[in-house]
Amino acid sequence: MGTQSQTAVLHPVAIGQVMVNFAARYGVDAETCLLGTDISEAQLRDPDALIERAQEMRLVENLILALPEVPALGFELGLQYNVATFGILGFALRISRNLREAVHHALRFLPLSTAYCRFELVPDPGVFGVSLDPSGIPHHLRQFLLERDSATALNLLRELSLAGINIQRLEYQGPEPEYADRITALCGMAPHYGSTRNAIIVRSEDAEIPLPMYDAHLVRLLEDQCRAQLQRRQVTGVTGQVRQLVLGPLGLVASLEDAAEKLAMSPRSLRRKLEEEGTTFRAIVDTERKQLAAQLLQGSDMKLDELALQLGYGDTASFTRAFRRWFDQSPGEYRRVHKA
C-alpha cells in the first residue's frame, strides 16, 4: 500500500515550529531558520497557517547549514514529533482499533504528516512494519530526511502502543555512518545497516494489540475530517490556487473577479479553467464555508451573527439557509448535537 503524492500538499506551519524550537535548543535563532523561506515569526504562532513544501525544504536546509557539527541531526529532530503534532490525523491514529489500523490510516493520509519519504507496508510474513523510500527527495537532503522520517515513525509507533510493543528491527540500506552510536543512544536500539531496505519492523501479533482509546464512531468522523483537510491543502491546478486565495489573502468574501485579478487572468478564463477541472468558483467557496462552519460550531461559542460574518455572509438568515442546505438542520441544532 503506497502513500499519496505529497508534492502538491500544503503542510501545517506547526511542523516548521517544531524545527525552529529544536534549533533554539542549540542556540540558533528563528531568524536564521526562516531565512529565505518567506515564513514570518507571526505565521509560526498561527495554528491554522499552512506552508508550501518548498518553504519547508528551505527551512530544513537552513537547519542543516546552521548545525553541521551535530551528529544524527535529522534523527534527533524526528524524535521531537509526536502524535499531538499532527492534529486531527494524530487524534485519528490514537483512537484506532490497533496499531495495524493506525498505520493504515497514517498511510492513507500521509500528506497531513511531516513525511517526505514514500512509505509502504512491509510484505514479509510473520512481521508487521513499514518501509521508507527516500529516492524522491533531493540528494543533499535525502539522508537527513530519511533519518528524520524514520525517527518520527519510530516515535509514533512507541507512543501509540504506550510502550507495550517492542520494535524488532530498525533497518537502513546505506553503510553505517560515523554517528551510528548516537542514533543507538537516541532510540535505545542499534540499527541494522547495509540492509535491503529502510524499514521499521514489529511482530505481527503486536500490531493486533487493542489501543486503549479506540472509538469506532470517532474513527469514522475523524477519517472524514482528515479527507476534507487533505482536500483543502491540495494546491494542484487552478482549483488549488483559488482555494489558497480564499483561505488566505482574499478570504471567503472574495468574488470570481477578485480571484481572477490575483491570478492575472480574465474572469471568463478563470471560469473556463475551473470548469475544465470539474468545479466552479462558487463550489470552492461553498466547500470552504461548509468546512469552516462545522469547525466553528463544534469548537467555539461564537454567536451566529459573528459566525455568518466570518464566513462571508451578509446576514445570519443567508448563512442559516446555506447551512440547512449542507446539513439538513439549523446551525443551532447542529451545535447542540455535536457539542453534546
Q: What is the Cα–Cα distance from 143 to 146, expressed in whole angstroms?
A: 5
Q: Residue 174 above 60 pLDDT?
A: yes
Q: Residue 3 above 60 pLDDT?
A: no
What does the pLDDT average to over 3-9?
47
Q: Residue 177 above 90 pLDDT?
A: yes
Structure confidence at residue 235 (pLDDT): 60
Structure confidence at residue 134 (pLDDT): 95
Neighbours of 247 (CB within 10 A): 19
Structure confidence at residue 105 (pLDDT): 92
Structure confidence at residue 7 (pLDDT): 40
* Long-range CB contacts (within 8 A, 24+) of 51-59: 51/10, 51/11, 51/12, 51/13, 51/16, 52/10, 52/11, 52/235, 53/6, 53/7, 53/9, 53/11, 55/16, 56/11, 56/15, 56/16, 57/138, 57/141, 59/16, 59/19, 59/20, 59/33, 59/34
Structure confidence at residue 164 (pLDDT): 66
- Among 181-195, 216-230, 284-298, 305-319, name the most confident range: 181-195
- Burial class for 44, CB neighbours closer than 10 Å (0-12, 13-18, 19+): buried
Neighbours of 179 (CB within 10 A): 17
Q: What is the pLDDT of residues 14-58, one digit of tens each?
A: 889 999 999 999 999 999 999 988 888 888 887 777 787 778 889
Q: Could you give the domains of the chain?
A: 11-208 (3.90.1520), 236-339 (1.10.10.60)
Q: Residue 154 above 80 pLDDT?
A: yes
Q: Structure pTM?
A: 0.69
Residue 313, C-beta contacts closer than 8 angstroms, at least 6 positions apart? 319, 322
Q: Which residues pair with 200 in a beta bridge?
A: 130, 170
**What is the share, in percent, of the chain residues with pLDDT greater than 90?**
47
Structure confidence at residue 93 (pLDDT): 93
Q: What is the pLDDT of residues 72-87, one digit of tens each?
A: 999 999 999 998 888 8
Mean pLDDT of the chain: 88
pLDDT band at 4 (very low <50, low <70, confident <90, very high): very low
Residue 84, CA atoms < 13 Å, CB-side half-sphere: 3
Higher-confidence residue of 336 and 235: namely 336
Residue 126, C-beta contacts closer than 8 angstroms, at least 6 positions apart? 203, 204
Q: What is the Cα–Cα distance from 113 to 256, expressed in whole angstroms?
A: 32
